[in-house]
């Protein structure tokens, strides 16, 4: 039985999936389970979602196996388990799930085959301290090029005009200060390789995995830019105060530069005299807060205009609270 939360009104597509579930359509059963895992326009019910995903997987639905893989990697509906994630991923690949097969090839190239090798890879990275206060750390070769390419390929068809938080309402809005596009990934829109990258970021930033917001991939081309801004929320603004109360403060930011072959596009911190242009696969992790716990205005930064080619960046914001499933 699907247990609805108070105030939750499932959408028409969800209701359609429910009807198809009762006539035994495995694709619908798996899709319904996936949505329940994260509460996408429906009740949030990971237990019911997991049960339905297993039901669809028993009927050899490759998408259900792929969803079981990524939710195991992210620890949604049960404790995080790399071994469970890899087993489910191999099941999906065996059913000719193209993305699962591609992920397995990337993982094999990394030498990641089980939980022990995953943990070893997650914890392995070099660090160059760019600045002590506020702390800026660079990690060369943080993500290998095949993984960078995979993230770009996953993001490209999902790109939409990037938005910013409205400081008064807290809602997202399009603003001329930010003209680039981006792609956001909830757990069920991502995959095991992307969750492995997020675990790698959490380890480098020294935070718990569940402090990470959903991954975003940023794309800049043809003069697109992001004018000077801060990543933390100013508590004096009503919209930001509500966001902080619900989901916490953005205390750190990680940027992973995914490609080369473009001109312009540096990440500039004008108050610190830093203009950073990462090599493909290089990560930059910086603190947004000062030692006193207040937002550090020295971290104001901009994504300068790309004058030739296209720039891809993985952006991972990090909060000081455990994040809700998304």
Query: What domains appear along the chain, each with residue ranges and CATH number?
Result: 12-104 (1.25.40.10), 128-319 (2.60.120.620)
At 36-85, the pLDDT tens digits run 999 998 989 999 999 999 999 999 999 999 999 999 999 999 999 999 99
pLDDT at 9: 58
Q: What confidence score (pLDDT) does residue 308 get?
A: 98
First CA to last CA distance, the chain: 22
Question: Cis link prior to 176 (omega < 30° from 0)?
Answer: no
Give 196's Cβ-side CA count (13 Å radius): 33
Is residue 311 within a helix (H) or strand (E), and if so which, with residue range?
A: strand 310-319
Is residue 314 within 8 Å of residue 258, measured between CB atoms? Answer: yes
Q: How many residues does the chain have?
A: 326
215 alpha-carbon distance from chain centroid: 1
Record the tokens describing residue 169, joined without a space. 């309402």
Bridge partners of 217, per DSSP, are 183, 314
* Structure-block tokens of residue 39: 């509460």
Q: Are strands 301-303 and 263-264 parallel, antiparallel or unpaired?
A: unpaired
Inter-CA distances, 37 with 28, 57, 276, Å:
14, 15, 38
Q: Which helix (H) or strand (E) holds 321?
A: none
With contact defined as beta carbons under 8 Å apart, do 310 and 249 qualify? no
Low-confidence ranges of the chain (pLDDT < 50): 1-7
Q: Where are the alpha helices (DSSP H) in the chain?
A: 12-21, 26-38, 46-58, 62-74, 82-94, 98-110, 115-122, 145-155, 192-205, 238-247
Q: What is the pLDDT of residue 150?
A: 98
**What's residue 16's pLDDT?**
84
CA atoms within 13 A on the CB side of 232: 20
Q: d(Cα 257, Cα 260) in Å, to the nearest integer?
A: 8
Closest CA to 5 of 48, 51, 34, 52: 48
Q: What is the pLDDT of residue 322?
A: 96
pLDDT value of residue 79: 96
């Amino acid at each position: 039985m699907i247990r609805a939360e108070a105030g939750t009104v499932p959408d028409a597509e969800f209701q359609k999936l429910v009807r198809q579930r009762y006539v035994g359509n495995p694709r619908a059963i798996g899709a319904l389970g996936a949505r329940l895992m994260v509460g996408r326009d429906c009740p949030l019910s990971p237990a019911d979602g997991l049960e339905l995903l297993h039901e669809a997987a028993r009927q050899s639905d490759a998408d259900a196996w792929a969803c079981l893989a990524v939710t195991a990697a992210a620890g949604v509906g049960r404790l995080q388990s790399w071994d469970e994630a890899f087993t489910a991923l191999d099941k999906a690949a065996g059913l000719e799930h193209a993305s699962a097969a591609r992920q397995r090839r990337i993982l094999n190239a990394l030498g990641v085959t089980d939980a022990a090798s995953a943990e070893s890879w997650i914890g392995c990275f070099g660090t160059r301290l760019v600045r002590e206060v506020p702390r800026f750390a660079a990690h060369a070769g943080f993500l290998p090029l095949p993984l960078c390419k995979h993230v770009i390929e996953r993001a490209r068809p999902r790109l939409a005009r990037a938005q910013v938080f409205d400081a008064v309402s807290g809602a997202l809005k399009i603003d001329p200060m930010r003209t680039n596009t981006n792609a956001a990934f909830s757990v069920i829109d991502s995959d095991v390789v992307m969750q492995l990258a997020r675990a790698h970021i959490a380890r480098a930033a020294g935070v718990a995995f569940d402090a990470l917001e959903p991954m975003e991939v940023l794309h800049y081309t043809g003069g697109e830019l992001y004018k000077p801004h801060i990543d933390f929320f100013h508590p004096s603004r009503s919209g930001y105060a509500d966001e902080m109360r619900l989901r916490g403060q953005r205390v750190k930011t990680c940027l992973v530069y995914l490609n080369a072959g473009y001109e312009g596009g540096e990440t500039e911190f004008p108050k610190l005299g830093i203009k950073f242009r990462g090599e493909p696969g290089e990560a930059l992790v910086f603190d947004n807060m000062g030692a006193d716990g207040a937002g550090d205005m020295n971290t104001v930064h901009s994504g300068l205009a790309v004058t030739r080619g296209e720039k891809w960046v993985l952006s991972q914001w990090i909060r000081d609270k455990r994040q809700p499933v998304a």
